[in-house]
Amino acid sequence: MPLDNPADLFLYELSGMYDAERRSNQLVGEILGRTEQSPLAQVLRAQQQQGQQKIQNLETCFAMMETEPDDVPSLAIDGMRAEFQQFAAQEPAMEAMEIFTVDAENRLAHLGIAGYQGLIDKALLMGEVQCAQLLRTNLVQQQENAGTFERISHELGQRVAMHI
């Protein structure tokens, strides 16, 4: 795909976000497989459902623009997945897995927040108001996820501190 104008850049970045959301959802599934016995499992399942909705919102944006997503792999998510797999291979205790998971999910949320903020601005500048609204919905979900995982991180930190 040639990147000849701002609209091309927007579609490129939107395609990257689409890939990131799909890969993030797969990563959440992998994490769930390792934390099924954890109290975090319920939060992760809810996040996975939200992830499906975010993917659908992105697909709707592409449909409104009468285009398909390009193949723009999210290397950041690939790196986070590799990091998780390397950590999980160490067979950590459940408490360590929970802390690692919460931190990883928080990083994922903040990565999404940054991406959606830029996409919303570009969509509005291009006059893609409906797409911008869908992207804003995804942004709000990412912000809520970040808040949830920041809260859980604090609670886990307090729990660990009590055992020291």
Q: Pick the residue with more confidence: 51 or 2? A: 51
Q: Tell me the pLDDT band of 163, cut-offs 50, 70 and 90.
A: low
Q: Which CATH superfamily is domain 6-162 in?
A: Ferritin, core subunit, four-helix bundle (1.20.1260.10)
Instruction: Count other Cβ atoms within 10 Å, centred on residue 90.
Output: 10
CA distance 92 to 102: 14
Lowest model confidence (mean pLDDT) among 26-40, 63-77, 136-150: 26-40
CA distance 20 to 108: 9
Cα-based angle 64, 68, 70 (whole degrees, multiple of 5): 135
The continuous run of DSSP H or E covering 78 comes out as helix 75-88
pTM (predicted TM-score): 0.91
Integer-rounded Cα radius of gyration of the chain: 17
pLDDT tens digit sequence for 124-158: 999 999 999 999 999 999 999 999 999 998 888 78
Is the separation of the CB atoms in 94 and 39 below 8 Å?
no
What contacts 83, CB < 8 A, 6 or more positions away?
Answer: 104
Closest to 61 measured CA to CA, from 138, 143, 145, 142: 138
Closest to 20 measured CA to CA, from 136, 85, 111, 93: 111
Most confident of 3-7, 13-17, 34-38, 46-50: 13-17
- pLDDT for residue 11: 96
Greatest Cα pair distance, the chain, in angstroms, is: 57
